[in-house]
């Protein structure tokens, strides 16, 4: 269990309010790191690939993010993004706005699925999170503070964390990342350099010794294996 005294979900924000995812022979030369231009191009390619599958979700109480899960227009997100809402407006990466309905939710794992009406953008590709290693470069793509399709960059800081949301929900096998996670990032995508989703950003840590301000570079994401299995179960259990 993470020992931080305070954790805050990367909750939806109120619309319009500025608030506050190998060993070679010794005779071989050491592998060199990618050049800056090559790495930069890789980042650009990943963002271009993944961003169309990351959407903004608006409810009567705030904004959050979601990931297009399949070709039928289903979107997976955090339960706390949609909790209590009956109507949803989804803004696609290109700016198109569509309505959505709730397919179902798994509050215990902080997951939910909504279905877009009249839109079927290409879904994201989800990684096998059991293969994610500490040190992986990671990009968080979402809508922090309502800033549509924003990207932050960091690394995977730890894996298999057990983290309490502070509301009776405990996340198991969470991925810790140094990529910035802010309100509105919830439900978005934490992706690797292959452009595959490794998790859904969900929590940002607060430092009680600094008056409850965000602890820099400490965020948590629900691992992609739990996301995919949870979303499939929600969809399979839907009456439709």
Residue 80 designated active-site:
yes
Given 80, 115, 148, 196, the catalytic residue: 80
Given 149, 157, 186, 224, the catalytic residue: 186
Residue 110 designated active-site:
yes
Distance of CA 205 to the CA centre of its chain: 15
Given 51, 110, 152, 196, the catalytic residue: 110
Q: Would you say 214 and 207 are in contact if contact means Cβ atoms under 8 Å apart? A: yes
Residue 229 designated active-site:
no
* Residues annotated catalytic, as ranges: 80, 110, 186
């Amino acid at each position: 269990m993470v020992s931080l005294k305070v954790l805050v979900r990367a909750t939806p924000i109120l619309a319009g309010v500025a608030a506050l995812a190998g060993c070679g022979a010794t005779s071989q030369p050491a592998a060199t790191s990618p050049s800056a231009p090559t790495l930069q191009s890789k980042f650009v390619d990943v963002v271009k690939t993944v961003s169309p599958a990351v959407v903004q979700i608006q409810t009567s109480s705030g904004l959050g993010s979601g990931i297009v899960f399949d070709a039928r227009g289903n979107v997976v997100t955090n339960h706390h993004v949609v909790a209590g809402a009956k109507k949803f407006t989804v803004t696609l990466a290109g700016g198109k706005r569509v309505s959505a309905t709730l397919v179902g939710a798994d509050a215990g794992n902080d997951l939910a699925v909504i279905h877009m009406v009249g839109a079927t953008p290409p879904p994201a590709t989800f990684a096998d999170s059991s293969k994610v290693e500490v040190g992986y470069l990671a990009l968080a793509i979402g809508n922090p503070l309502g800033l549509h399709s924003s990207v932050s960059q960091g690394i995977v800081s730890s894996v298999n964390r057990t983290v309490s949301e502070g509301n009776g929900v405990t996340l198991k096998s969470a991925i810790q990342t140094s990529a910035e996670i802010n309100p509105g990032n919830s439900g978005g995508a934490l992706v690797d350099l292959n452009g595959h989703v490794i998790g859904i950003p969900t929590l940002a840590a607060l430092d009680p010794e600094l008056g409850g301000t965000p602890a820099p570079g400490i965020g948590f994401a629900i691992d992609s294996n739990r996301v995919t299995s949870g979303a499939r179960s929600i969809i399979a259990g839907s009456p439709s």
